Chain A
Amino acid sequence: MKILVAAKRVVDYNVKVRVRSDHSGVETANVKMSMNPFDEIAVEEAIRFKEAGHGDEVVVASIGPRQCEEVLRTALAMGADRGVLVRSDAALEPLAVARLLGVLAEREKSDLILLGKQAIDDDANQTGQMLAALLGWAQGTFACRLEAVQDGLRVTREIDGGLETLFMPLPAVVTADLRLNEPRYPKLPNIMKAKKKPLETLDGDSLGVDISPRLHTLRVSAPEPRKGGVRVTDVAELVDRLRNEAKVL
């Protein structure tokens, strides 16, 4: 089984973003960037699948500027076999990313594509579903458990009411939720080894894919801050204020 994993470079999980004063977006200059945490879970799952004897090769792909190589090196240090960087300096929307990944999947003859359920920057939660649609494959979104079974996969999904388990034949696209696994920290010798693993660069404009933006971002603003609250001294004061001031009890 050939596994393709997609990993996005995003503003680090711990950074509190600031909106630019001209409202054109959020400040990303001199901000720590790292792999989208959900994609990290997807990378980990792909590697575990291979380690369990279900996969022959784990290829990790990232789409974006040159610096996405760092994300790929991290995935290679975790245990992926090979990296592909699709270079593009354009601001790519999920549909464009799905199209580019679709081309890669055909080129790599992938049987299973794993990616995070959403990226923590645009919070769109679309790419995996769109990719499955474009390829005509089954989709298992928000996965918290993945099992290889005869002729396909059993995917347990986190849904609003609890859990749902689906069977799907391969090829398929699976998107990772938080509790699918806990990603490993790359060990130093593996980080060194990762530097020698193959990393190919493709030009995003040469793949024959329409990546033009469909959405115009007119304005990005900071949400209304909540008005500062008060500290109450004890339970009696809290109950009194909830009842008589806030009128919610």
Chain B
Amino acid sequence: MTWMPVSPKAAVKEVQDVTFLTAKAFASMFRRPFYVRDILTQMDIVGVGSLTVVMLTGFFTGAVLTLQSSKTLTTFGAVAFTGQLVAVSLVRELGPVLTSLMIAGRVGSGIASELGSMLVTEQINAMRALGTDPIKKLVVPRLLATTSMLPVATVMADAMGIIGGLFTSVFVLRISANLYLARAWNGLSYMDLFGGLLKPIVFGATVAIVSCHCGLRTYGGTQGVGRSTTQAVVVSSILIIIFNLFLTRLILVYTR
């Protein structure tokens, strides 16, 4: 794969560039001007625009999870606990990770290709020439939008997943809706909700920073835009999966 750094020096440079971009983006958030319109536009693209795909993912994941887990739970005579298993799995792990992966694919690719195209057509240079800081104008709104909308999208995916599980439980497994929902509700703790919302915030920032970085260092014309787009999705997805391990461990340590 062309993204893989060819030498340790290149790898260190890559990490250094991402760190600088992150630091500059966070520092720019508190300096005028504030591009509120751009932030709202990006929130619409990331949040409202991703709603259908996120809800469908959540619904069918919940439904499949219910079918798969019911088989094992039946072995132990614990099929009544299906609601709890589905809710906890979705809120703690599947909801944040799957939603983030879907948004990395949909939004991350969009960010990288848009910024990449702007770079190769000199629009970013034109922006700088006209007195605008591209990090403030382009990176900050995308970072804020992705970080704030991913938790919202995750809540929607979790809710749809539990509804998907409810459908399967009622119509396939013949578990009463009340029992399923009661188990789901009682099975969740506040720490599950906290962990389930913390993860998408971190994943959202990861998708935005990686995608902006890939877009802003595009080279090689339109072919380069394609390469940057692929890199943004692949790197974001891998980082989401890696960060999930560390975050899960961290959350478990503090909620023990």
Say whether A and B bind each other. Answer: no
